[in-house]
Structure 1
């Protein structure tokens, strides 16, 4: 889902082992107390395997925030059999060549690794097999189609494949409210393989609905896109589809400049619902232009309820360690990865095991639930139910999960915009019938 606009192929660097981020033990956690049964002793580690530098450096912090929020939810309720959760960054730099050594180093250096989060479309193809071979459950923010029917049992995806973001954007054109007819669509994504995964499904669907579409790939991270912008403007599009994490501000600023001071309406993927992206784009085309001309797609979150309230409160507390943590309160990936960590901890307790080959299958059962399962919304609720001998279904901060046989969980799309403060505003939602029509039109 994320990182696909900044994937490998942009720059080839010399192969280096990325520096490992500072190990964080949340204030107040202290050392672990003695554990029970087969849960072992000592702190447990969640590895945040993601870009913290390079063109996609804004992705890693969102995932790190998820871990910082999940850790106190677990630690303040006795931990995992007395074991406390810690969070550590492992920088992939958004490049497969850097990501593989980072993954290997993470695994080799940490025998207490309980789960991995992150693994974006930049590096998932390189790191997922490594993590799977080590039998460590992972929750990946990749939208690559190769994982739609993955054979990796330790891989989990809580967000739809990239093609559904493409269909969601087409849904804005066909079903979205309060806009003029958008008949000519310019696709502006990175020239890397991951970014271009949006292009074919969007093109197929748009053409099916009688729209004219043209692809204008850009080299992400460039200092200027004037030549590419001029080519795109010659096409005279009604609307632009884009993501371009880290480059959207520069590109859209030059569009406005070379288009006589007028911003063209633009639709972003779910990854553009992000404080860093909002800051980047508003710095060049103004807040007013973003509010007026930006539209986006996102998964349907309620941003309410017991689980969300705890998640949000923990993000506020995490600000003492990571100042930007509270900004991710409405970031879908942060919500999902928070839930993934909570489910993993509950799976360990439910199986009374520190062995991932034992507790990994339990994650899916806790997410999907079984007949008669008690619905829980927090780690404490889950812990209490398990101690009472009940089976549980976890419905967390991001809502309900439904894993299929390939450990992919999907939900519906909403059509959104930004307000002047960078908050998400829902304008409409795509019905299951509309989503099916879009998917059928895409043909992938």
Structure 2
């Protein structure tokens, strides 16, 4: 038997070290060629490390959360053959995103589970009486009112009066008999808890934490909030979906927002920029690569809609949908998660009234979308119901002046409130 030592491969992009995020094997496991051994985290994406050989795992080179240098020993595998030690780097790794993940069983179970009815208010229940659901028990109006106040279904109470009439005493007996059943869950609901859970911050969660901390410490954040009447753009969206949805796909509001960014940036190129604060250089870009913040099971990702300036509404919509699905399913590649020039973030229907989004460094602007609500507004002296939405946007004050930020968002507002101007060249 021999030993095959696999070293941390050179993932490229000048990366000298990576974080070991998760082991998929343990000592003693038998592995086959191309089986995924571990996940490692680079600055941009999760990467799978496959096995180049068949054999048995005899040693692991690190623990989850440990930062390992390229070329360090990752894993040792016992293989058939001569007794000498062979070394190699793992085969060219693939982004974890590109692997076909196992079907999310837990999620499927949730989706297939019938919706539960709202929990009724707690009541004390004694032994039930078998009555038909539509059978009206005999009781005086005063007893019925008493049962309603106590949260008792009268048809479940055994009546001791003439012809089975339910009396006040029967309600009290029902409550007394039900106390032993009701006291335990009530006591448990108000019991003190002393349990604790410690969660190690590693992998994607650590990268997110580092990026957010770095952004808030390095950039001079300031936020600007503007209210926008989206009634007209929503009417246009509904019309286009009715006319072309079946053949071209449904449009959400996001592709309209991407289009508004593209048009507004023509007059505000300083927003479509990256700031290298170490070199003290601002790079303004002609291409508009829009990052779309997307929540996934492993945390927040920002896939990039490249060259948004050259895309139609439906092209943008299809690309946003594809990238969001890839990010949520763990299939987004490193290239798809890097290179944005400005970011769009939205929580959809949960977007709240106002937010203060954190910049996606080295970008200098991020536009946050809040939820759409119907509100009474005064239009030409008349009170009418309009669909209103806030844009909560943040900027790097080292690069962007407050007046320019306000004018930029006002430009987006004008484009969305007069949607025909989105398509006037």
TM-score, scaled relative to structure 2? 0.26
Flag the structure with larger Rg: 2
Larger RCO, structure (CA 8 Å, separation 6 or more): 1
More helix per residue: 1
Q: Which has the higher strand share?
A: 2
